[in-house]
Amino acid sequence: AEEVGGGDKEVVREYFNNDGFQRWRRIYGDGEDVNKVQRDIRLGHSMTVENVMKMLLDEGPLAGVTVCDAGCGTGCLSIPLAKEGAVVAASDISAAMVAEAEKQARNELLGGKEELPTGLVLPRFEVSDLESLNGKYDTVVCLDVLIHYPQNKADAMIAHLASLAEKRLILSFAPKTFYYDLLKRVGELFPGPSKATRAYLHAEADVESALQKAGWRIRKRGLTTTQFYFSRIVEAIPA
């Protein structure tokens, strides 16, 4: 597993257990302690989560559907999925993220009570990089994690996620477009204190061909854009 992302992977793990954890917990939260750019990213990311929930619900109710949320972060997707009755396996390379996601899930789903409402189950949380995940799930979702993978590592990552999914795979990633490339370059010219990991953008055609190689085809596409946040969403099914 150490091969994936090369040395990047250790850097990513370290970042999301420390500075990155603090930063992204604020962005994905609802407190006032964010700046203008972070607030914009918060809005964009919440739109991605909404779009993905809509895509998932379009195919029918989620009660009893098994979902693997790979790279779950603070649980922004796992929690609404569990609220719909999905049986969620949530994992992340960062132990800090997993602990936070579990805390938020308990708060939101139990709401201080001892037992969950009938039909709902708490997500199962696990610290794991996504290359080490196994098992089979109706649906595998991986939101905004590809940004940590260069394209040459992304193919294997996508193939692995596809091997865990029986019915559908939903991925979101920062699309490699001219405008976003430019923004990223501007970001590199003026690195803020919060910038600690490399960001990799992906051409949609590259992601699509990785899916095709794994025997999957894209059925639906979505795009979320705000001023500072861009995310392409693809839903794939076995070809």
Residue nearest to ligand SAM (CB): 73
Binding-site member from 56, 62, 68, 97 for ligand SAM (CB under 6 A):
97
Asked if residue 76 binds ligand SAM (CB under 6 A), the reply is yes
As measured in angstroms, the least distance from the Cβ of 194 to ligand SAM is: 13
As measured in angstroms, the least distance from the Cβ of 113 to ligand SAM is: 25
**Distance from C-alpha of 76 to C-alpha of 31, rounded to nearest angstrom:** 15
As measured in angstroms, the least distance from the Cβ of 64 to ligand SAM is: 23
Entry field: residues in the chain: 239
Asked if residue 72 binds ligand SAM (CB under 6 A), the reply is yes
**Distance from C-alpha of 42 to C-alpha of 158, rounded to nearest angstrom:** 25
Asked if residue 41 binds ligand SAM (CB under 6 A), the reply is no
Among positions 144-173, residues that touch ligand SAM (CB under 6 A) are: 144-145, 148
Binding-site member from 92, 100, 102, 235 for ligand SAM (CB under 6 A):
92
**Distance from C-alpha of 105 to C-alpha of 51, rounded to nearest angstrom:** 20
Binding-site member from 23, 25, 26, 28 for ligand SAM (CB under 6 A):
28
Measure the CA dihedral 186/155/169/137, to 10°: -130
Residue located via tokens 């696990």: 126
As measured in angstroms, the least distance from the Cβ of 231 to ligand SAM is: 9
Give 146: exposed, middle or buried? Use CB within 10 Å, 0-12, 13-18, 19+: buried
Which residues on adjacent β-strands are paired with residue 221? 234
Tokens of 111: 């709401």
Instruction: Between 112 and 191, name the residue whose CB sits nearer to ligand SAM.
Output: 191
64 Cβ neighbours under 8 A, 6+ residues apart: 85, 86, 87
19 Cβ neighbours under 8 A, 6+ residues apart: 194, 196
Interface with ligand SAM (CB under 6 A), residue total: 20
Asked if residue 102 binds ligand SAM (CB under 6 A), the reply is no
- The site string for ligand SAM over 1-20 (x = CB under 6 A, - otherwise) reads --------x--x---x----
